[in-house]
Amino acid sequence: MRRERLGFSFALAVLSLWCTMEVAVEAAWSLQTPVKLVWHYYKVHNTCDYAEAYIRHQVESFYKYDKTIAPKLLRLLYADCFVNGCDASVLLDGPNSEKTAPQNRGLAGFAFIDKIKTVLEARCPGVVSCADILNLATRDAVHLAGAPSYPVYTGRRDGMTSTKDSVDLPSPSISWEASLAYFRSRGLDVLDMTTLLGAHSMGRTHCSFIVDRLYNFNDTGKPDPSIKASLLEEMRKLCPPKTRKGQPDPLIFLNPASGSKYSFTNSYYSRVLTNEAVLGVDQQLLYNEDTKQITEEFAAGFEDFRRSFALSMSRMGNINVLTGKEGEIRKNCRFPNKK
């Protein structure tokens, strides 16, 4: 996977994305099921000409006061698209909804989406889907953090059900083989996986998601041997072993190099190469020839990472979308419409 190949494939993808109005979104190396989404859907159909501008303005306003919205929305979009597809089902409330699943502990950003939806309902009632809002707002937020402003095709509709039993998001301690199998089950490939894991360049996670690496890796009673000694010492200070029920579960930075700046950088890949990844699944990128080579390229070239991120985010946003007469356009992102 040479850098030239990354640039060439991205150029082809962007040419396809930007030169047509209505497209079947395709991958550079592997094909997804073609789905018809539209560039500037709401303007093309004269239903809400300035929908994307309204969303961008709201995100810019939020970002001035809270830079955490970038990693929060990234995680929220991942939790949505990888479960039932990009249908905003993760936004639905309920005692057994997706947001109540253990894997979604700490999921945030719902209030930001609610505020944007309120603005759009005041200007274009019943028109803009929560699924499109989530995709567009995430793009705009991560762009402010340093990511590229990639094209987001629109015309998604919202799902009407949400259950915690449908949430099959994997553990952050899985092997690269299991991680790749999971990504492939969603129509994504090894480049998408290595690229999208780079979203861990910013944000935080709970100690409970890494405590096994620190104290009892694979039930050995010892720490993960791949973790750098200095990082192990640092993480153990922040994350004590769990010894009692109800013990606090602190938040730690996924990428200490970025920390509270919440900036989108390629330092995540440099840390993987020096065995300083916080999550086990991230450190696993060293143990496959393809993922290691991609990691090395992204660590050496930020623009390579940014270009690949643009394409992979567009591909993730295409997973199992609802269009046409499928689903609905929710009036409130937290509840299905009343019949």
Give percent of the chain with pLDDT exceeding 90. 84
Instruction: Indicate whether 291 pLDDT > 80.
Output: yes
pLDDT beyond 80 at 282 = yes
Residue 5 included in any domain: no
Asked whether residue 331 is domain-assigned, the answer is no
Q: Which residues have CB under 8 Å from 129's CB, separation 6+? A: 88, 156, 157, 158, 327, 329, 330
Annotated binding-site positions: 80, 83, 85, 87, 89, 98, 170, 200
Q: What is the pLDDT of residues 177-197, one digit of tens each?
A: 999 999 999 999 999 999 999
Closest to 290 (Cα-Cα) out of 179, 186, 200? 179
- 23: pLDDT confidence band, cut at 50, 70 and 90? very low
Domain membership flag for residue 32: no
Which tens digit of pLDDT belongs to each residue from 111-154?
Answer: 999 999 999 999 999 999 999 999 999 999 999 999 999 999 99
* Bind-site residues for Ca(2+): 80, 83, 85, 87, 89, 98
Model pTM score: 0.89
Query: 1 lies in a domain?
Result: no
Q: Is 157 a catalytic residue?
A: no
pLDDT interval class at 26 (50, 70, 90): very low
What is the overall mean pLDDT for the chain?
Answer: 89
In a domain, 215, yes or no: no
Contact in structure between 336 and 159 (CB atoms under 8 Å): no
**Catalytic annotation, pick one of 5, 56, 75, 139:** 75
- Specify the pairing of strand 204-206 against strand 251-253: antiparallel
d(C-alpha 120, C-alpha 112), whole Å = 13
**CB of 318 closer than 8 Å to CB of 37:** yes
Q: Residue 327 — very low, low, confident or very high, per pLDDT cuts 50/70/90?
A: very high
Tell me the binding residues for heme b.
Answer: 200
Would you state the pLDDT for residue 246?
81
Is 333 a member of any domain?
Answer: no
CATH number at residue 169: 1.10.520.10
Cβ within 8 Å of residue 320, ≥6 positions away: 81, 84, 85, 86, 87
- Residue 305 included in any domain: yes
For 304-314, what is the mean pLDDT?
96
Residue 157, pLDDT > 80, answer yes
- pLDDT on residue 1: 44
Question: Is 8 part of any domain?
Answer: no
| Per-residue confidence (pLDDT) for residue 11, from 0 to 100 | 38
User: Which domain does 72 fall in, by range?
Assistant: 41-203+254-317
Report the pLDDT value the prediction gives residue 243, as an integer from 0 to 100: 75
* Number of domains the chain contains: 1
